[in-house]
Amino acid sequence: MLDKKVIELLNDQVNKEFYSAYLYLDFANFYKDKGLDGFANWYQIQAQEERDHAMLFIQYLQNNNVSVSLEAIAKPDKKCKELKDPLIFALQHEEYVTSLIHAIYDAAFTIKDYRSMQFLDWFIKEQCEEETNAHDMINKYDLFGNDSKGLYMLDNELKQRVYSAPSLTL
Ligand code: FEO
């Protein structure tokens, strides 16, 4: 039986992950409108991964006989103007998500909820990867994105990204 506070945080995280998917879809649409299909592809796949994260939290709760409560997903609130804006917002957002995962871990740790800690281990690693990817995107943009030929090549590189299912199975 999971603790009430941990359940509440895990359930909130379902919403946060769906919001992340929505945010990244918004970024994908921004790039699509600019004709940068590679950047759009990268964020569409990112959105798929976030949906997977939400489903993992749902599955974990259900595996522990908890009823999941779905709340309204907020409208993406980042106003992108420059091509680099989504990249900066994405890094800020991932740092925020990391803080949320850590807060759930803290709650589980406090009450010695080893099961939830083990489940969250995967997300702690995943957040490290997500932040690194977000940093890399900014670095690449700074290196190549300011000249049209470089931007074209970077966009082509990002077109190659393919979706892969999460390595965590429950
Ligand atoms: Fe669900 Fe981008 O972390």
Dihedral sign for Cα atoms in the order 141, 146, 147, 151: positive
- What residue spans of the chain are helical by DSSP H? 4-33, 37-63, 85-110, 114-144, 148-159
The model's pLDDT over 132-144, given as tens digits with 9 standing for 90+, comes to 999 999 999 999 9
Q: Output the CA 82–ligand 1 centroid distance in Å.
A: 23
**Cβ 16 under 6 angstroms from ligand 1:** no
Q: Output the CA 50–ligand 1 centroid distance in Å.
A: 5
What CATH architecture does domain 4-70+82-159 belong to?
A: Up-down Bundle (1.20)
Nearest CA residue ID for atom 1, ligand 1: 50
| Average pLDDT in the chain | 97
Answer whether residue 159 shows pLDDT above 90: yes
CA distance 145 to 154: 7
pTM above 0.85, yes or no: yes
Reported confidence tier of residue 165, pLDDT bands at 50, 70, 90: very high
**Angle, vertex CA 22, rays to CA 145 and CA 52, nearest 5:** 100
Task: Give the pair of three-digit tokens for residue 11.
Answer: 């359930």
Domain boundaries, the chain: 4-70+82-159
Beta carbons of 30 and 79 less than 8 angstroms apart: no
The model's pLDDT over 75-118, given as tens digits with 9 standing for 90+, comes to 999 999 999 999 999 999 999 999 999 999 999 999 999 999 99
**Cβ 26 under 6 angstroms from ligand 1:** no
Q: How far is CA 137 from the centre of its chain?
A: 14
Q: Output the CA 128–ligand 1 centroid distance in Å.
A: 10
Answer whether residue 1 shows pLDDT above 90: no
The model's pLDDT over 24-44, given as tens digits with 9 standing for 90+, comes to 999 999 999 999 999 999 999
Q: Output the CA 148–ligand 1 centroid distance in Å.
A: 30
What's the pLDDT score for residue 129? 97
What's the pLDDT score for residue 44? 98
Task: Count the residues in the chain.
Answer: 170
CA distance 2 to 35: 47
Task: Give the pair of three-digit tokens for residue 95.
Answer: 């740092």
